Structure 1
Amino acid sequence: MPGRKQFDVGAALDRAMRVFWQRGYADASLEALCSATGLGRGSLYGAFGGKDALFLQCLDRYASLYGAQYEQALAAHPGDPVRAVEAFFDVVLGRIADPSVPAGCLIAQSAAQSPTLKQENGLRVRGLLDVQRQRVRAALADSSADTRTLDELATYVVAVNQSLAVLSRAGASDAELRSVARLACTTVADTLARAASQDSVQG
């Protein structure tokens, strides 16, 4: 049929996402994106609207793919926020250890390059980090800790997650990364236990 796209849009997005993930936005040249997707420059622009628009779509695809896994892990242990955070890091470490995908995290990679991004793209990256923090914060809500403590813990967990991605790209071993995650979970558990103890004394 005239005008019908003769390629798999989802597959092309996945391949482009890997280029951004592996190289970062700044070093993901149009040539590399065209080579990965199998599209000429004109077809790439026609299908996705250019590099910046393609980058936004890749961010959304990445967030949809892994965000669903994070959300499922965090929601799988109602009433047990520490176990929820442990499950979250299990998913994160599983992605990092997966040899079929690039090292690190597309969002962490993009956040590190925020100064080179157009405003819209930078805001999207920040928004995705905020969504991640909101998911973690919701998993912590069953605790008796005060709002400020829970907000700070959620930000802390997201910061550790991003650090794991950076460390993995620098060549940290799985054992080293799991040690970081384990200590983070201990920090969360200790902070929540301390808050519960204080609440009990005050009560």
Structure 2
Amino acid sequence: MSGRKQFDVDAALDQAMRVFWQRGYADASLDALGSATGLGRGSLYGAFGNKDALFRRCLDRYTSVYGARYEQALAAHPGDPVRAVEAFFDVILGRIADPSVPAGCLIAQSAAQSPALNEENSTRVRGLLDMQRQRVRAALEDSSADAPTLDALATYVVAVNQSLAVLSRAGASDAELRSVARLACTTVADTLTRAASGPVAQG
């Protein structure tokens, strides 16, 4: 049919996303993107715009696929913030262990290459990290800890998540990654327990 795209946009985005995920923005050449998607350079530009625009579309695609899973895990245990964080890490570790996708995390990979991104894309990556922090912060809300403690814990959980992605790309085993996640969950539990017990009297 005249004017109708002759390819599956989501499938092309998935393939381009894998290239950015595996190689990082800087090393994701147009030739590599074209080879992965099956589109010539002209077709890539016609469908998605330039490389920066395609990268943003891939970030959005990654978020739509994995962000929903994180949100579901974090929301699945109302009233039990520690279990919510455990479920969050379970989803992350499941993604890392999935042999059908590249190692690590597209967001972590992109954050590490922020100096190579233009301002709009760098801002988008920071925004996605902040979105993740906000999701974790909301899951921690069902506790008696004060706001600064919850803010710090949410940032800590996101930092551990990013560290898991980096470690997985460096070849850390599933057992090693799960050990890190368990220790992080223990840290969250201990911090919330101390907060619930209130300040210790001095003197």
TM-score band by shorter chain is over 0.9
Compute the displacement of 1:142 (Å). 0.6
2:63 maps to 1:63: yes
Tell me which amino acid in the other structure corresponds to 1:156: Y
* 3-state DSSP of counterpart to 1:57: helix
Tell me which amino acid in the other structure corresponds to 2:151: D
Give the distance between the partners of 2:170 and 2:22, measured in 1 at CA: 13
Identity of aligned residues (%): 87
Compute the displacement of 1:102 (Å). 0.2
Output one character per residue of 1:132-185: Cα deviation in whole Å (capped at 9) or x when no partner.
000000000011000000000000000000000000000000000000000000
2:77 maps to 1:87: no
Give the distance between the partners of 2:187 and 2:181, measured in 1 at CA: 10
Give the distance between the partners of 2:176 and 2:2, measured in 1 at CA: 55
Q: Partner of 2:189 in structure 1?
A: 189
2:174 maps to 1:179: no
* 3-state DSSP of counterpart to 1:87: helix
Q: Partner of 2:35 in structure 1?
A: 35
Tell me which amino acid in the other structure corresponds to 1:170: A
Paired residues in the alignment total 201
Q: Partner of 1:126 in structure 2?
A: 126
Give the distance between the partners of 2:199 and 2:130, measured in 1 at CA: 28
Output one character per residue of 1:27-63: Cα deviation in whole Å (capped at 9) or x when no partner.
0000000000000100000000011000000000001
Unaligned runs of 5+ in 2: none
Unaligned runs of 5+ in 1: none
Give the distance between the partners of 1:92 and 1:40, measured in 2 at CA: 34
Give the distance between the partners of 1:8 and 1:73, measured in 2 at CA: 29
Q: Partner of 1:75 in structure 2?
A: 75
Q: Partner of 2:162 in structure 1?
A: 162
Give the distance between the partners of 1:145 and 1:64, measured in 2 at CA: 31
Give the distance between the partners of 1:128 and 1:200, measured in 2 at CA: 38
Asked whether the equivalents of residues 144 and 199 of structure 1 are also in contact (C-alpha less than 8 Å), the reply is no
**Runs of 4+ displaced beyond 6 Å:** none
Tell me which amino acid in the other structure corresponds to 2:129: L
Q: Partner of 2:135 in structure 1?
A: 135
Give the distance between the partners of 1:182 and 1:11, measured in 2 at CA: 35
Compute the displacement of 1:200 (Å). 10
Give the distance between the partners of 1:64 and 1:151, measured in 2 at CA: 25
Q: Partner of 1:149 in structure 2?
A: 149
Asked whether the equivalents of residues 136 and 157 of structure 1 are also in contact (C-alpha less than 8 Å), the reply is yes
* 3-state DSSP of counterpart to 2:198: helix
Give the distance between the partners of 2:25 and 2:100, measured in 1 at CA: 20
CA RMSD of aligned residues (A): 1.1
Give the distance between the partners of 1:49 and 1:40, measured in 2 at CA: 13
